[in-house]
Structure 1
Amino acid sequence: MSAQADPLAGLDEVAWEWLVHAYGSAKDVPPNLRALRSQDARVRRDALTGLNSSVTHQGSRYSASAPVARFVVELALTPDALDRENLLGFLCTLAVGLDDERLPAGVPVSEWRYGAACLEAERDSLAARAAERADHEMRPWPERELWIRNPFSGLTPSPDTVAAYDAVRDGLPRLVRFLASPRSVERARVAYLVGMFPESAAETVPLLVDRLDVEADEHALTSALVAHGLIAVPSETLDRVARFLDDERPLVRWGAATALARASATGSEPPSRPTIGTLVESTVLEDVPDLRIHDGWIGSCAAKSLASIRRWLTTDDIRDLADRLPLTSSSFNCDQLLDTVLSAAFPVTGPGATARLDHLTPVQRHVLHAVLPIWELNDSWLSEVPRVLARHGLTGTRTEIEAALATR
């Protein structure tokens, strides 16, 4: 029997000291990567937390992110991998940053590649500016050299962003083996990861289709449904996914409706009434922290999906959504639902357009009546309600809105 290959082979050959993450030089990365092989669960957890906060800080990617991604792929693939589901989740972050920002529209990889190419063309001028700033601030030589060698830090999308994305994509043909893992959480994580790579759809959509026919676990099935909607041809999603709207499990129905809404938003087929109804019901589902999709914020993701198909929402749909505002599971979900309701009820046109409080339609009055109790409960300088209202042309104070609603 041959010895297992070392997943960290070549780790010390990388010039980590000249790569960067969110906190400067990436010379502290190798110890954290090695710690991911520790037998101590706390050591592994702390190492992954450290890597997550540095090489994918707030969703950003850096010059150290792509090399880290390549090693994490190898770690996840080892037969005796520890915490493989967490490694697969980390690979998703390495590839796309904050994954909740990728839903429901998917990964705009063409835009990323174009933006990265534009920045690559400016590499020399960006490096010169970095040198000038370092000289002005009298930075010591190592730090000055680090800035010059890493001119894209803090910029996105950048060559660093695309390099990290491609490092994970390169490992995808081997990672998809976990779609058949005996552990449902691994199947769920890799199914969701597959949905982040539309350029690989020809190879991966058939694998997702196979899972739709046999998957029993609700998290893994939901992940496969959402991923299918992200990367498959819209007509194929409509044909294959609609049957899951009748599933007895609310989470699976939400996953199907999410995929179907994505197909309608990118295709030409209007969403079915069951699709819209399922998403409306899902806006008040409890969060599912163990689900990787949208960080488990089911309600806010449902609201975002409804926003993507808002041109097909009826006035009754808008009223129903407004009435659900106080029923949402968190202020975060409430803010997202409020944004969706307002986008449907107050379609602002043109820059700086404002909504006329003296010409409110019946559905607009209904929505504002539903907003006032939410505003009253969260009426502090931290409240998102005024900012959400302002985005939709409603710049009046609460007193002014109350007065407008009191006037027939």
Structure 2
Amino acid sequence: MDLSTDPLARLDEVAWGTLHHAYGPAHDVPDQLRALRATDERIRHRALGQLLGNVYHQGTRWSASSQVVPFLVALADDRETLDRAGVVTLLRALVIGARRDDELPFNPRRAFAGGDGISEEQADLVARHLDAGDLFAQESLADVADLAPVRWAADAFHAGARHTDSYLRWLADPHSRLAGLAAELLAWFPPTERVVSALVAVPDDEARSAARASANLTLGHCPTEAVQIDTRLRDLLLAPGPAVRVTAAVALAYRNGELLPDRALDILVDARTTDPGVDPPGWDRSLRGFVALALQRLELA
């Protein structure tokens, strides 16, 4: 493969041995990233599991985690990567962690405030003493031991924030699950005019219904007051797919409260007893859960 098009071409330029993950120095990370390009599904699946355990161990990020982010983005950008959706799922874990939609709109300054006072050198020292198993014998590290993971999580988030252009490209991808994952990922970053326009523009045809439903939920959590958002969501109340209609109604309930259209309220009430459609990709909450939460916000649950 031409190095100019190889998503992992710069992999060996990272000093992985000086970085840490849950099991020590990150020497093994490059080969695990390379394995994500394998044609054998079992090899790819194993590599995803190994990386998840190493750089996102039980929800904790490490110094190696933020360095993995740009390579996952590059792999997902490349259509020769066979499981791009799996790669983006891992990317989401590193960048966002276990955060749920009730933290939206997301305020990274507030979320990562605890790690602001931790230097890279202090965080690295914590990692090395964790490797050696003597952290709690180091009184000088007592004050920073709990804050180092906050610093690593912030580093991973900010690494992910540098790639919103890629997320926008995935949003237009014909692979509906990948596009849906991208739509949810975009919910965690500032809703620029370009982002809002791209979310509004996702088609609502059957092939793209999963992506459209996910985009609806992201727009519902968007703090921006934009006429184009509400106009699009109202139009989607008549969409052919049930998940698209229901998520449009949920989003309008979030944005408009008691001023939502009667049709949106009818859709939400009906969704309590009928099948609301397939859960949108990328979101931890089920579609029925979103319906219940929307009705609760309207004081109807």
Q: Fold conserved (TM > 0.5)?
A: yes
Q: Shift in Å at residue 292 of structure 1?
A: 1.9
Match of 1:90 in 2: 90
Secondary structure, counterpart of 1:294 in structure 2: coil
Match of 2:213 in 1: 222
Match of 2:171 in 1: 179
Q: Shift in Å at residue 36 of structure 1?
A: 0.4
Using a 3 Å threshold, how does the CA distance of structure 1 residues 193 and 124 change in structure 2: closer, same or farther?
A: closer
Contact 1:254–1:279 (8 Å) recurs in 2: yes
CA distance in 2, matches of 1:27, 1:18: 9
Q: Shift in Å at residue 202 of structure 1?
A: 2.5
Write the letter of the residue equivalent to 1:76. Answer: A
Contact 1:226–1:259 (8 Å) recurs in 2: yes
Match of 2:199 in 1: 208
2:188 to 196, 200, 223: 196
Write the letter of the residue equivalent to 2:287. Answer: I
> 4+ residue runs of structure 1 moved beyond 6 angstroms?
124-129
Equivalent residues in 2 for 1:282-293, closer than 5 Å: 282-283=271-272, 285=275, 288=278, 291-293=280-282
Determine whether 1:102 maps to 2:101: yes
Secondary structure, counterpart of 1:98 in structure 2: coil
Contact 1:188–1:223 (8 Å) recurs in 2: yes
Write the letter of the residue equivalent to 2:290. Answer: C
Match of 2:249 in 1: 257
Match of 2:21 in 1: 21
Match of 1:378 in 2: none
CA distance in 1, matches of 2:186, 2:53: 23
CA deviation profile, 1:128-155 (whole Å, cap 9, x unmatched): 9959x959xx8479x999x97xx56676
Match of 2:161 in 1: 169
RMSD: 3.9
CA deviation profile, 1:260-309 (whole Å, cap 9, x unmatched): 233246xxx644454444334445647846x42324622223333444x2
Match of 1:65 in 2: 65
Deviates more, 1:231-240 or 1:71-80: 231-240
CA distance in 2, matches of 1:275, 1:67: 44
Q: Shift in Å at residue 40 of structure 1?
A: 0.7
Match of 1:361 in 2: none
Number of matched residues?
296
Match of 2:117 in 1: 121
When the two structures are superposed, what TM-score results if normalisation uses the length of structure 1?
A: 0.61
CA distance in 2, matches of 1:125, 1:179: 37
Stretches of structure 2 lacking an aligned partner (at least 5 in a row): none
Q: Shift in Å at residue 33 of structure 1?
A: 0.8
CA distance in 2, matches of 1:48, 1:225: 29
CA distance in 2, matches of 1:126, 1:280: 53
CA distance in 1, matches of 2:47, 2:223: 35
Using a 3 Å threshold, how does the CA distance of structure 1 residues 124 and 41 change in structure 2: closer, same or farther?
A: closer
Match of 2:111 in 1: 112
CA distance in 1, matches of 2:120, 2:90: 32
Using a 3 Å threshold, how does the CA distance of structure 1 residues 244 and 152 change in structure 2: closer, same or farther?
A: farther
CA distance in 2, matches of 1:214, 1:108: 33
CA deviation profile, 1:84-113 (whole Å, cap 9, x unmatched): 1222222222221125x1247343334235
Instruction: Please say which structure displays the higher CA radius of gyration.
Output: 1
CA distance in 2, matches of 1:192, 1:79: 20
Match of 1:241 in 2: 233
Determine whether 1:303 maps to 2:260: no
Using a 3 Å threshold, how does the CA distance of structure 1 residues 40 and 200 change in structure 2: closer, same or farther?
A: same
CA distance in 2, matches of 1:43, 1:286: 36
Higher RCO by CA contacts (8 Å cutoff, separation 6 or greater): 2
CA distance in 1, matches of 2:199, 2:294: 21
Q: Shift in Å at residue 177 of structure 1?
A: 2.0
Using a 3 Å threshold, how does the CA distance of structure 1 residues 23 and 297 change in structure 2: closer, same or farther?
A: farther
Using a 3 Å threshold, how does the CA distance of structure 1 residues 120 and 196 change in structure 2: closer, same or farther?
A: closer
CA deviation profile, 1:221-280 (whole Å, cap 9, x unmatched): 112212222336244332321222233432112211232233246xxx644454444334
When the two structures are superposed, what TM-score results if normalisation uses the length of structure 2?
A: 0.79
Using a 3 Å threshold, how does the CA distance of structure 1 residues 178 and 123 change in structure 2: closer, same or farther?
A: closer
CA distance in 2, matches of 1:204, 1:128: 35
Secondary structure, counterpart of 1:57 in structure 2: coil
Secondary structure, counterpart of 1:89 in structure 2: helix
CA distance in 2, matches of 1:214, 1:102: 25
CA distance in 1, matches of 2:23, 2:124: 21
Write the letter of the residue equivalent to 2:115. Answer: L
Match of 1:327 in 2: none
Write the letter of the residue equivalent to 1:190. Answer: A
